Amino acid sequence: KQEVTQIPAALSVPEGENLVLNCSFTDSAIYNLQWFRQDPGKGLTSLLLIQSSQREQTSGRLNASLDKSSGRSTLYIAASQPGDSATYLCAVSRGNQFYFGTGTSLTVIP
């Protein structure tokens, strides 16, 4: 069974700092990897989707990479802002099944 792990579980950084969130998965036979943001008590907002044939995707200050062979993905956030404070989840999918990591809770301090 696919297991998805996110490290660190929580992260606190000063505003303006660049940061990296990590996601690892045990089964490299995936179709897609997706990064989401979740604000307290709310649903999920999709940030970036990386298909299995891709290595990275970029959107604004966000860059996500995927290394299937090592079972890892990273989400890079440049010039962090207080509005980036949220929980970040990665999810891997294969067919109709997909699996979520436990998330990284990010706090950006003004």
Partner 1 sequence: SAVISQKPSRDICQRGTSLTIQCQVDSQVTMMFWYRQQPGQSLTLIATANQGSEATYESGFVIDKFPISRPNLTFSTLTVSNMSPEDSSIYLCSVEPGQGNGYTFGSGTRLTVV
> Least separation, in Å, of the C-beta of 110 and partner 1?
26
> Least separation, in Å, of the C-beta of 12 and partner 1?
18
Of 32 and 63, nearer to partner 1 (C-beta) is 32
**Distance set, CA 92 to CA 2, 12, 48, 107 (Å):** 9, 25, 12, 24
3-state secondary structure 34-54: EEEEECCCCCEEEEEEEECCC
Contacts with partner 1, 82-101, as mask; x by CB under 8 A: -------x-x-x--xxx-xx
> Least separation, in Å, of the C-beta of 32 and partner 1?
6
> Least separation, in Å, of the C-beta of 14 and partner 1?
26
Helix (H) or strand (E) holding 88: strand 86-94
Report how far residue 104's alpha carbon sits from residue 5's, in angstroms, rounded to the nearest whole number: 10
Among residue numbers 40 through 79, which ones bind partner 1 (CB under 8 A)? 41-46, 49, 51
Q: Which residues bind partner 1 (CB under 8 A)?
A: 32, 34, 36, 41-46, 49, 51, 89, 91, 93, 96-98, 100-103
